Amino acid sequence: MNDVKTTKEYAYNSLYERNQSFNSLVAWLHSQRYRHVIDALKPVAPVDRPLQVLDLGCGFGKIYDVLSQSFPIEYTGVDPEARYLDMANERYGANANFRSFCVSAANPIIFDRRYDVVTALETMEHIDGPTAARIIKRIAQGNPRRFVCSVPIEIGPSVLIKNFGSLLMGYSRHKTYTWKQTLSAGFYQLDRLPRHTASHLAFDWRWLAQTIRQHFRIVETRFFPLRYLPACVSSTAFFIAEPWPAGRRRGAARKAARRRRARKLRKD
């Protein structure tokens, strides 16, 4: 796997990036996804043209910087936060292979071309469930070679470790929870939590995995920071997914058509 710069080395004068490089441990944890995304994309990178990349929730465009060191790419970054994209465009907008859209990942305007890969790193936890499901379905319709997604693990012992560790380090992540909510999430008592909307609170990575499987074949699920650790004590889940074989897609389409016909007959 190619060496890439750590989050700390990429840190700029912004609150978001300062938080990601709060100390050497936090910086190392955040850098993991960038190291693994290069490894995930190598097998599908074309040899005769640039890799077409769609990056959902691109923030400051860090993936553009990371991937450009390993592949020739044509990059499209999407983020609804104008202040993030302003910074990304200030850094990379002069490059001919960089473009960005300040819209939601659910906006169809971003699918104006076919992408080889779609990335969504630490993004899906900030989108409500129904919208996330629609986005994943739309990504699959574009038939990319790979969909790479990472999300934080916010249930089980992992969230207990992260939130209590945050308190001890003077970090801020635990402040998005009450301690009662931390304990409920830590003991998988999700019915005691509010409905997940657009924050880490009540996000269940297992739901996302099942949603991805409805449209993609998950080639591999990795857990960070150490791949041999189980999910319950890991900080992040990282999915590498590919389209289902054509036969499977046709079968699913036929089943969906039968369901639509059945619903229509019941209405009639």
With respect to residue 106, please indicate whether it lies within any of the assigned structural domains: yes
| Distances in whole angstroms, Cα of residue 31 to Cα of each of 3, 8, 75, 187, 196 | 11, 8, 20, 28, 26
Residue 169 lies in a domain: no
3 state DSSP class of 216: strand
- The reported pLDDT for the residue numbered 90 is 94
Which is higher by pLDDT, 20 or 49? 49
- Decide if 259 is inside a domain: yes
pLDDT reported for residue 11? 41
Has residue 197 been placed in a domain?
Answer: no
Query: What's the domain count of the chain?
Result: 1
CATH number of the domain bearing residue 101: 3.40.50.150
Domain containing 13 equals 7-154+203-267
Residue, of 158 and 166, whose pLDDT is higher: 158
pLDDT tier for residue 169 given thresholds of 50, 70 and 90: confident
* pLDDT number for residue 18: 55
pLDDT, tens digit, 9 for 90 and up, residues 85-100: 999 999 999 999 999 9
Q: Report if residue 262 sits inside a domain.
A: yes
Burial (CB count <10 Å: 0-12, 13-18, 19+), residue 141: exposed
Number of neighbours of residue 218 by Cβ within 10 angstroms = 15
